[in-house]
A and B are shown apart, each in its own frame.
Chain A
């Protein structure tokens, strides 16, 4: 067994075990932590496959940002665990069927059964040559040239989703005291402070 194989088996085993723990652990926080462990190990698998850019992207986007917010939400919500457990038997068949469909799709793609013709001898993209450009370079040059419209389209969809979320949650409240930084900076001494000479015993005489 070579070193890459050895590490492949370590990463793969931990990924599968932690994926099982995600759905079987009693505490939702532990579930999320196991999910993070699964993400990290799959990024290790990417590394072994030679896709270092994707591996680090997975770590940055999923572990560094998405899972943090996930953990954040799960910590803040007061979830009734007992009620969640009740639905388990009902949702297992759905989950299992989704998993089965994915498995069949993967077998079809990787095995490339039936979809082959003269124009498309293989469905899987070939790894780039050792001496060629780096993965980052290759990904960038195909993403921003051949697939630029799809890329922009995906960006647009995300933008619309983001604006939708903001519109749905934005509420205007009356009478809230907010700090207005430009207003504070624009304040001048002459407008707000006045030097008044007061004669002893007379006070301000009501004028302020």
Chain B
């Protein structure tokens, strides 16, 4: 009896909650790929996918079915265990990050008081999927792609860290729910910390290996980058992981800067809409910006990418940390801790 009460029921409840979060997330990932093709097609005066189902809406399902039925090929020179582990790591890192993101008031799997560090840790572990796949493929192009990616992700994490510090200074807590609530009391952090929001957005693009920083997969010079040798479901896991990471980073930005589930102004028509809808709208806005960037900007050269990370963003975010803490101390706006 105690076993059922103490362990079995909570486990089942948690599994149910995880499914409620992960299933919509995976559907979202599938339709993000569709949205990407449609949005970029619209920006380039094309039609995009329009053959499978009405408006091509069943295209992601058709793509998924195709990938599922293809053969998984492991190259003969590859190191099979590491080769198969890499896409699994990429995909599961993208999934576990969602454990701490509050999608609405109290709608969070684990309301831990170091949530922001957890997300930072998970996003810094994502590099392992890339670097392991590049090494395990035992092939030139994936290896070059993996090395590029490792250096890129480590570089941009530094400035992301400083952006997080400025937000933490304004909140006084590492808990993501507290961060959203602090924005409800004052204002969304995108207003006072707008430069940091831009730095975070661009660093997130670099961290996600998205255009214009998609050098790790740079198809013009590296064939397909680190997943050149992957096929079928192993490739699909990389693909899903990458898009799930885009949604995760957008969710992270929403929580840090755009007030999470909070309505735009707290008056009648706006605060009647449930918080989760607001959260989704904000995430969609940021995702649209990411797709927009991809359709607009040419790819960076690698030395320019490193220069931007180390010589522009790092000093700037460091300066902003000093500035924000100075203003907070001078105006006596430092938050109450504990």
Q: Please list the residues of chain A having a beta carbon within 8 angstroms of any beta carbon in chain B.
A: 3, 27, 29-30, 33, 36, 52-53, 56-57, 59-60, 63-65, 68-69, 71-72, 75-76, 133-134, 136-137, 179, 181
Within the complex, what minimum Cβ distance (angstroms) separates B294 from chain A? 24
Once the chains bind, are A60 and B113 in contact (CB under 8 Å)?
Answer: no
Residues of chain B within 8 A of A69, CB atoms compared? 154
The winner among B7, B112, B338 for most chain A CB atoms within 10 A is: B338
The winner among A27, A30, A64, A181 for most chain B CB atoms within 10 A is: A64
- Interface majority SS on A: helix, strand, loop or mixed? helix
Identity of the chain B residue whose Cβ is nearest the Cβ of A60 in the assembled complex? B121
Residues of chain B within 8 A of A134, CB atoms compared? 113, 338
Once the chains bind, are B124 and A60 in contact (CB under 8 Å)?
Answer: yes
Within the complex, what minimum Cβ distance (angstroms) separates B139 from chain A? 13
Residues of chain B within 8 A of A60, CB atoms compared? 117, 120-121, 124
Q: Fill in one digit per residue for B300-328: 1 if any A CB lies within 8 Å of its CB, else 0.
A: 00011001000000000000000000000
Within the complex, what minimum Cβ distance (angstroms) separates B203 from chain A? 15
User: Can you give 29 contacting A-B residue pairs, CB < 8 Å?
Assistant: A3-B7, A27-B79, A52-B112, A52-B113, A56-B114, A56-B117, A56-B118, A56-B120, A57-B117, A59-B125, A60-B117, A60-B120, A63-B121, A65-B124, A65-B154, A68-B131, A69-B154, A71-B131, A72-B147, A72-B151, A75-B135, A75-B143, A75-B147, A76-B147, A133-B338, A136-B113, A136-B114, A136-B174, A179-B304
The answer, yes or no, to whether B280 is at the interface (CB within 8 Å) is no
Within the complex, what minimum Cβ distance (angstroms) separates B295 from chain A? 25
Bound CA–CA A133/B135 (angstroms): 44
CB-based A-B contact count at 8 angstroms:
68
Interface bracket on B: 20 to 34
Residues of chain B within 8 A of A57, CB atoms compared? 117
Once the chains bind, are B124 and A63 in contact (CB under 8 Å)?
Answer: yes
Bound CA–CA A56/B118 (angstroms): 6
Once the chains bind, are B112 and A36 in contact (CB under 8 Å)?
Answer: no
Once the chains bind, are A65 and B121 in contact (CB under 8 Å)?
Answer: no
Bound CA–CA A56/B337 (angstroms): 20
- Cβ < 8 Å to A, chain B residues 108-150: 112-114, 117-118, 120-121, 124-125, 127-128, 131-132, 135, 143, 147, 150
The answer, yes or no, to whether B82 is at the interface (CB within 8 Å) is yes
The answer, yes or no, to whether B157 is at the interface (CB within 8 Å) is yes
Once the chains bind, are A53 and B135 in contact (CB under 8 Å)?
Answer: no
Once the chains bind, are A52 and B150 in contact (CB under 8 Å)?
Answer: no
Once the chains bind, are A53 and B121 in contact (CB under 8 Å)?
Answer: no
Bound CA–CA A36/B113 (angstroms): 25
Once the chains bind, are B113 and A179 in contact (CB under 8 Å)?
Answer: no
Once the chains bind, are B117 and A33 in contact (CB under 8 Å)?
Answer: no
Other A-B contacts than A36-B128, A68-B150, A136-B114, 13 sampled, CB-CB below 8 A, are A29-B82, A29-B135, A52-B113, A59-B124, A60-B121, A60-B124, A63-B124, A64-B120, A64-B121, A68-B131, A72-B147, A75-B131, A75-B147
Within the complex, what minimum Cβ distance (angstroms) separates B19 from chain A? 21
Residues of chain B within 8 A of A59, CB atoms compared? 121, 124-125
Once the chains bind, are A64 and B304 in contact (CB under 8 Å)?
Answer: no
Residues of chain A within 8 A of B307, CB atoms compared? 181
Identity of the chain B residue whose Cβ is nearest the Cβ of A56 in the assembled complex? B117
Residues of chain B within 8 A of A56, CB atoms compared? 114, 117-118, 120-121
Identity of the chain B residue whose Cβ is nearest the Cβ of A36 in the assembled complex? B128
Once the chains bind, are A137 and B338 in contact (CB under 8 Å)?
Answer: yes
Bound CA–CA A181/B154 (angstroms): 23
Within the complex, what minimum Cβ distance (angstroms) separates A129 from chain B? 12
Across the A-B interface, the 4 shortest Cβ-Cβ residue pairs: A64-B124, A56-B117, A59-B121, A133-B338
Residues of chain B within 8 A of A27, CB atoms compared? 79
Choice from B7, B114, B127, B135 contacting A52 with Cβ under 8 Å: B114
Once the chains bind, are B125 and A63 in contact (CB under 8 Å)?
Answer: yes
Bound CA–CA A72/B155 (angstroms): 14
Residues of chain A within 8 A of B150, CB atoms compared? 68, 71-72
Once the chains bind, are B157 and A65 in contact (CB under 8 Å)?
Answer: yes
Identity of the chain B residue whose Cβ is nearest the Cβ of A43 in the assembled complex? B121
Within the complex, what minimum Cβ distance (angstroms) separates B314 from chain A? 14
Bound CA–CA A36/B131 (angstroms): 13
Within the complex, what minimum Cβ distance (angstroms) separates A38 from chain B? 14
Within the complex, what minimum Cβ distance (angstroms) separates A6 from chain B? 10
Residues of chain B within 8 A of A75, CB atoms compared? 131, 135, 143, 147
The winner among B121, B127, B307 for most chain A CB atoms within 10 A is: B121
Identity of the chain A residue whose Cβ is nearest the Cβ of B151 in the assembled complex? A72
Bound CA–CA A136/B114 (angstroms): 8
Query: With A64-B125, A181-B307 in contact, do A137 and B117 touch (Cβ < 8 Å)?
Result: no
